[in-house]
Amino acid sequence: MREPTLIQALIPILFLLALLAINVKIFDDTIAGSNQIALLLTGGLAGLIAIYNGQKWEHLQHHILKTLHQSMPSMLILFFIGSLAGTWMISGVVPAMIYYGLDIVNPTFFLVSAVIVSAIVSVSTGSSWSTIATIGVALLGIGRALGFSEAIVAGAIISGAYFGDKMSPLSDTTNLAPAMAGTDLFTHIRYMVYTTVPSIIITLIIFLVMGFTIETNGVADITMVKEAIQETFTITPVLFLVPIILLGIIVLKMPSLPALLIGTILGGIAAVVYQPHIINEISGVTNNYLLSSYKAVMQSMLGSVSIETTNEMVSKLMNTSGMGGMLSTVWLIISAMVFAGVMEGGYFLQRITKSIIRFANNTTSLVASTVGTGIFFNFTASDQYLAIVVAGRMFKHTYQDKKIAPEVLSRALEDSGTVTSVLIPWNTCGAAQSKVLGVSTLTYLPYCFFNLISPLMSIFIAMIGYKIRYIIKDQKSEEEIDVDEITATE
């Protein structure tokens, strides 16, 4: 088996970029299938090059199955989010959030509020996915009702959710990064503060300025939206028990899948109790409420549901697609994992990363290389966990050789691997969040300011030599000191 050359390793990447560019020009909805085929074709091309180099098909297939296995929890969570969105809509939970939210949210400060609320919920739960699928959906509805572009609102929600995910000790990626780098959880979180807090402050300032400059709907329009919701649903504060219970069990560290299932069931029960007219409308059954309830709740979990109101804009908000609506996204994830498995099994990713490491001559270039590699693996391996794990493994010894403390590596892994995953359409995070919010990845990308700023902030902090720690070893102890005490470039 010959090691692939750098040119061979780059050929599949360039081929994929070309196909994706063509798809954008030709197809209106690239997630509907064209991008999936592009990923599979590129995986086939990479496989041919790997076999030409002497690699066996069984080895490539093993890596494909391994990446599919690693992404299975994400796909299952996506299905459960689809069902949860369905029952929360017909139960009136999401409409109630929008209804009461329009009362308490000042349009000028809405975008900033969306960031802060998403961040608080995400820190509390440790999950950006759960935050976006619950509070995020409601915030998007409020933003639309106020007249904001859905792309801008989605950017605010994602910015806050990923800030919270990054800083929460309950987050899986926040635990994974220090484990890969060789440091402890709270040292990792403490060191992320130096890049993450400036990034979120800049993000809040940008959204504050946008809130003052974007023209929103007047009070009359908001009143019409509220009236349409109230005429269609039974709105009561009791409905907030459903999200409160869900957030509570997530905070208590219940795994995501059973937590989302419980949230879905609670939404179905609330629909049966508080929205009998919606139940009958969806099911079409009027003489047997038990049968009507079963059919309506089941339909909201498995497929499309459209609830008509007296306001056309509100009617557009009251649509869900259930588990069935997630199939194209799961197809995209599967295709991306096939491509990622071949790229890993053919040692293309390792070959490219090895070339990147050669340019890491000082602290700044090493951190920049780590950040770039995390983004690269999000692009090619299509999964934030793989981006953190593979990049962490490949750079750990380099950081040790240069006597740089492991928390600097773990911070760079999160500043790139975690936050940029949602910006790539075929990444598990990008595919999931675009489907849940109903806003395409490339549409919301320019407004995910926190996610765009974080990698640059990580490099900037390294460039100015602030809070970069070195490990000084002597015969008696191992001591960490600030980079200010020694030369950053050694």
In a domain, 1, yes or no: no
Contact in structure between 272 and 297 (CB atoms under 8 Å): yes
pLDDT at 90: 93
What is the average pLDDT across 336-358?
84
pLDDT at 404: 86
Q: Report which of residues 172 and 112 the model is more confident about.
A: 112
Listed residues 320, 349, 367: the one ending a domain = 320
Residue owning tokens 């990363």: 353
pLDDT band at 218 (very low <50, low <70, confident <90, very high): low
Domain count, the chain: 2
Retrieve residue 316's tokens.
Answer: 């557009």
Residues 20 and 166 placed together within one structural domain of the fold: no
Residues 235 and 280 placed together within one structural domain of the fold: yes
In a domain, 124, yes or no: yes
In a domain, 418, yes or no: yes
Listed residues 267, 285, 320: the one ending a domain = 320
Residues 163 and 312 placed together within one structural domain of the fold: yes
In a domain, 381, yes or no: yes
Residues 103 and 153 placed together within one structural domain of the fold: yes
In a domain, 451, yes or no: yes
In a domain, 298, yes or no: yes
Contacts of 22 (CB under 8 A, 6+ apart): none
Instruction: Give residue 397's domain range.
Output: 6-72+326-485
**Angstrom distances, CA of residue 410 to CA of 118, 170, 357, 418:** 24, 16, 17, 11
Residues 366 and 276 placed together within one structural domain of the fold: no
Residues 417 and 466 placed together within one structural domain of the fold: yes
Of the candidates 152, 218, 109, the one whose C-alpha atom is nearest the C-alpha of residue 117 is 109
Residues 114 and 237 placed together within one structural domain of the fold: yes
Listed residues 274, 293, 320: the one ending a domain = 320
Residues 281 and 162 placed together within one structural domain of the fold: yes
Complete DSSP assignment for 161-185: HHHHHHH-TT-HHHHHHHHHHT--H
Bridge partners of 138, per DSSP, are none
Could you report the per-residue pLDDT of 233-267, keeping only the tens digit for each? 999 999 999 989 988 887 787 887 898 899 999 99
Residue 485 pLDDT > 60, yes or no? no
Could you report the per-residue pLDDT of 69-99, keeping only the tens digit for each? 877 887 888 788 889 889 999 999 988 888 8
Could you report the per-residue pLDDT of 121-144, keeping only the tens digit for each? 888 777 888 888 888 888 898 888
Report how far residue 94's alpha carbon sits from residue 96's, in angstroms, rounded to the nearest whole number: 5
Reported as type and span, the H/E element at residue 220 is helix 219-232
- pTM of the predicted structure, to 2 decimals: 0.78
Residues 344 and 315 placed together within one structural domain of the fold: no
pLDDT at 278: 93
Residues 107 and 231 placed together within one structural domain of the fold: yes
Q: Report which of residues 486 and 164 the model is more confident about.
A: 164
In a domain, 79, yes or no: no
Residues 51 and 139 placed together within one structural domain of the fold: no
**How is residue 455 annotated by DSSP?**
H
Phi (first) and psi of residue 252, to 5 degrees: -80, 10
pLDDT band at 279 (very low <50, low <70, confident <90, very high): very high
In a domain, 78, yes or no: no
Residues 273 and 337 placed together within one structural domain of the fold: no
